């Protein structure tokens, strides 16, 4: 029994070790060594070896720690976000919490019933109908048939699968499986709901419903939610507390805003801008210049001029230049679009020469708050899609004294744009 009455889940020194290669947990000799160590009261000899789980580097050991010394606790009614790059250990952690697999070392203390949604169709029998699977999942969670029947109509209505509820689940689409699985997990009243990235399979309408439902069961029913997602906007809106996993270790635990900043900063230092362009087309962007510099990453003070020059692979005529529809989308560090610029939005778009090799956009004052932003470009030519560059460039906006007050709003907390304003106090 836990000491603190409001702590429903406590993880202590949790670690999970895997062996790389075609062999699973180990060879007969390794298993024998482990058994001998156990019966003689000694420590497992293979716990002393192994490397951190950095998937991008080649190591020297055949053992890796998918999780290493994880410690945290979750209170009743709390929504805990779990973030980290691919391979950081998020799914392994949830599988251990859901008792799908066991930890190598450490322990987990529960104070309630757990329902998990880890993969599409988890816990469903493909030959059984949707309705039958609802009763099956409820029985697994320890509920009586009467309790499940009382919630049945709500589950079916929330899932939006009423027409298929008497059809075997094997004929469901992946999105329908997720809808039904989430409805079952949410409405059968577990004390702890564990949700992996599976909601990304659902459509936008269902994701909004699911996030709203998780918020409701936490605030109104006092139940706990553990939520894994790569969608930082969803994590920010849903979770009050977030942990960041870095190569299997606990990198940060604390307020969600601070955790997301830690995660983004950690990733940005390791990952390069991702360029995707179509050079097999008749016309494409050859180079990008930001304020006359051919740099992928550029520092600009807030409120200062931004000049974008896009060099084409060949010179085009005046008529061809007028037929181009060129777009640039500026996104924030959560990958959410902030604004779009295009020559089609400029009624003063001019073509200066007979032969034109550059498309140029000038923004007199880039009124963005301090932070990191990226630009994605694409354009159509002769009424057909021609070229796209995803995350073509990155802009680091440096804080300036834009308002002449020595103060600036924080983009992450107060919005991205700086607006000219006049205040006064009067009657």
* Three-state SS sequence of 113-173: CEEEECCCCCCCCCCCEHHHHHHHHHHHCCCCHHHHHHHHHHHHHHHCCHHHCCCEHHHCC
Candidates 2.70.50.60, 3.50.50.60, 1.10.1060.10, 1.10.10.410; CATH matching 285-414 = 2.70.50.60
Q: What is the mean predicted confidence (pLDDT) over 146-158?
A: 89
In terms of C-beta density within 10 A (0-12 exposed, 13-18 middle, 19 or more buried), how is residue 256 classed? buried
Q: What is the pLDDT of residue 121?
A: 65
Q: Sheet harboring 285-290: ordered strands across?
A: 285-290, 306-316, 356-363
Inform me whether the pLDDT recorded for 170 exceeds 80: yes
Asked if 82 contacts 253 with a C-beta cutoff of 8 angstroms, the reply is no
Summarised one tens digit per residue, pLDDT across range 314-339 is 898 988 888 889 999 999 877 889 99
Helix (H) or strand (E) holding 424: none
φ/ψ of 392, rounded to 5, equals -70, -35
Q: What is the mean predicted confidence (pLDDT) over 68-91?
A: 90
φ/ψ of 203, rounded to 5, equals -80, 175
Confidence of residue 114 (pLDDT cuts 50, 70, 90): confident
Q: What is the pLDDT of residue 127?
A: 92
Mean pLDDT computed over every residue of the chain: 81
Q: Please list the residue range(s) of the chain that carry CATH number 3.40.50.300.
A: 73-268
Torsion of Cα atoms, 163 then 169 then 175 then 179, to 10°: 70
Inform me whether the pLDDT recorded for 21 exceeds 90: no
CA angle (144 as vertex; 143, 146 as ends), nearest 5: 125
Inform me whether the pLDDT recorded for 134 exceeds 80: yes
Summarised one tens digit per residue, pLDDT across range 338-393 is 999 999 999 888 887 788 899 999 999 999 988 889 899 988 887 666 678 888 88
Asked if 374 contacts 297 with a C-beta cutoff of 8 angstroms, the reply is no
Q: Name which of 238-252, 284-298, 329-343 the model is least confident about.
A: 284-298
Q: What is the mean predicted confidence (pLDDT) over 389-410?
A: 84
Q: What is the pLDDT of residue 212?
A: 84
Inform me whether the pLDDT recorded for 8 exceeds 60: yes
Does the domain at 73-268 match CATH 3.40.50.300? Answer given as yes
Q: Please list the residue range(s) of the chain that carry CATH number 2.70.50.60.
A: 285-414
The three-state secondary structure class of 296 is coil
Distance CA 404, CA 400 (A): 9
What's the farthest any 2 CA atoms get from each other in the chain? Answer: 87
Q: What is the pLDDT of residue 270?
A: 45
Confidence of residue 28 (pLDDT cuts 50, 70, 90): low
Please state, as a whole number, how many other Cβ atoms lie within 10 Å of the Cβ of residue 379. Answer: 23
Q: What is the pLDDT of residue 57?
A: 55
Inform me whether the pLDDT recorded for 242 exceeds 90: yes
Asked if 47 contacts 17 with a C-beta cutoff of 8 angstroms, the reply is yes
Task: Identify the sign of the CA torsion 57, 60, 66, 67.
Answer: negative
What does each C-alpha distance from 157 to 140, 152, 167, 169 come to in angstroms? Answer: 22, 9, 16, 17
């Amino acid at each position: 029994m836990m000491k603190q009455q409001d702590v429903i889940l406590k993880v202590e020194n949790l670690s999970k070790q895997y062996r790389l290669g075609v062999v699973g947990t180990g060879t007969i000799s390794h298993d024998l060594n482990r058994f001998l160590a156990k019966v003689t009261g000694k420590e497992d000899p293979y716990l002393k070896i192994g490397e951190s789980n950095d998937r991008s580097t080649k190591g020297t050991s055949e053992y890796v720690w998918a999780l290493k010394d994880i410690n945290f606790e979750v209170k009743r009614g709390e929504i805990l976000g779990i973030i980290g790059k691919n391979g950081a250990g998020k799914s392994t952690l949830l599988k251990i919490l859901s008792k799908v697999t066991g930890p190598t070392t450490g322990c987990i203390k529960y104070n309630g019933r757990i329902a998990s949604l880890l993969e599409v169709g988890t816990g469903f029998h493909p030959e059984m109908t949707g309705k039958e699977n609802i009763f099956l999942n409820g029985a697994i969670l320890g509920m009586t048939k009467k309790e499940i029947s009382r919630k049945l109509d709500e589950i079916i209505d929330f899932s939006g699968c009423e027409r298929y509820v008497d059809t075997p689940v094997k004929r469901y689409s992946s999105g329908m499986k997720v809808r039904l699985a989430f409805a079952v997990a949410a409405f059968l009243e577990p004390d702890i709901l564990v949700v992996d990235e599976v909601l990304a399979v659902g459509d936008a309408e269902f994701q909004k419903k699911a996030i709203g439902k998780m918020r409701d069961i936490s605030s109104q029913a006092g139940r706990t939610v553990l939520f894994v997602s790569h969608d930082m906007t969803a994590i920010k809106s849903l979770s009050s507390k977030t942990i960041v996993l870095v190569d299997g270790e606990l990198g940060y635990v604390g307020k969600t805003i601070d955790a997301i900043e830690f995660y983004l900063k950690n990733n940005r230092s390791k990952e390069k801008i991702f360029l995707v362009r179509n050079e097999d087309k008749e016309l494409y962007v050859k180079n990008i210049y930001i304020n006359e510099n051919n740099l992928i990453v550029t520092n600009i003070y807030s409120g200062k001029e931004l000049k974008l020059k896009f060099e084409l692979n060949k010179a085009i005529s005046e008529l061809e230049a007028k037929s181009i529809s060129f777009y640039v989308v500026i996104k924030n560090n959560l990958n959410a679009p902030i604004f779009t610029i295009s020559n089609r939005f400029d009624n003063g778009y001019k073509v200066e020469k007979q032969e034109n090799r550059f498309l140029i956009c000038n923004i007199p004052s880039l009124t963005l708050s301090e932070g990191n932003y990226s630009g994605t470009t694409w354009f159509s030519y002769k009424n057909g899609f021609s070229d796209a560059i995803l995350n073509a460039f990155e802009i680091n906006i440096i804080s300036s004294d834009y308002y002449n007050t020595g103060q600036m709003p924080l983009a992450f907390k107060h919005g991205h744009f700086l607006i000219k304003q006049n205040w006064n106090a009067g009657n």
